[in-house]
Amino acid sequence: MPFDLGGLVTVLQLVGAFFGVYFVAVWIGLVIWTFRDVRARSRQVFTQLLSVLLVIFFNVPGILLYFLLRPRETLAAQYERELAEEALLQDIEEKQACPACQRQVHPDFLFCPNCHTRLKRRCDTCHRITSLRWNICPYCGAPVSAPPPTTSPT
């Protein structure tokens, strides 16, 4: 049986075509993935365009470079962090009104002058004013002992 050169060439062509298609599919996949990833991390069109072009032109090395340069945080994570920070700030700068009679009170009042409800407490260790809801002193870290009486001693 003579060696079938034509058959071998066809097989090589098929293999070549297969790898060609495979390479293009991976390349397109990487570009799409980069586009989605950068959109989740940056609102700037310039950054998005640059990242996608990087992967289009440099392919796998481009995506490695993108991994190094991309914004560390996703927009969703950034939003959540900002929300948490805002909540913390609100906790500190809470509207200063007596929870019992809604009278305006000064931030460093320990008791409401109107209804005598306890508003804040003094740290036993550093004697600074802290919130009743915290169980450690935010200034010196001393644990807060038993809850104080809810109304003024007088």
Judged by CB under 5 A, the chain residues 63 through 82 that form the site for Zn ion are: none
Residue number with CB closer to Zn ion (29 or 113) = 113
* Residue type present at position 119: L
Tokens of 30: 């990487």
Cβ contact 54:24 at 8 Å: no
Written as one letter, the residue type at 129 is: I
In the chain, the amino acid numbered 58 is F
Footprint (CB under 5 A) of Zn ion, residues 93-112:
98, 100-101, 112
Question: Least separation, in Å, of the C-beta of 97 and Zn ion?
Answer: 8
Q: Which is nearer to Zn ion, 2 or 153 (CB)?
A: 153
Which of 142, 147, 150, 151 binds Zn ion (CB under 5 A)? It is 142
CA distance 82 to 67: 24
Question: 54 burial class (0-12, 13-18, 19+ CB within 10 angstroms)?
Answer: buried
30 is a contact residue toward Zn ion (CB under 5 A): no
CB of 89 to Zn ion, least distance (A): 21
CB of 120 vs Zn ion, minimal distance in Å: 13
Q: Which of 90, 125, 135, 150 binds Zn ion (CB under 5 A)?
A: 125
Contacting residues for 134 by C-beta, under 8 A, at least 6 apart: 144
Write out the two tokens for 10: 């066809």
Residues of the shown chain interacting with Zn ion in the complex, contacts defined by CB under 5 A = 98, 100-101, 112, 114-115, 117, 123, 125-126, 137, 139-140, 142
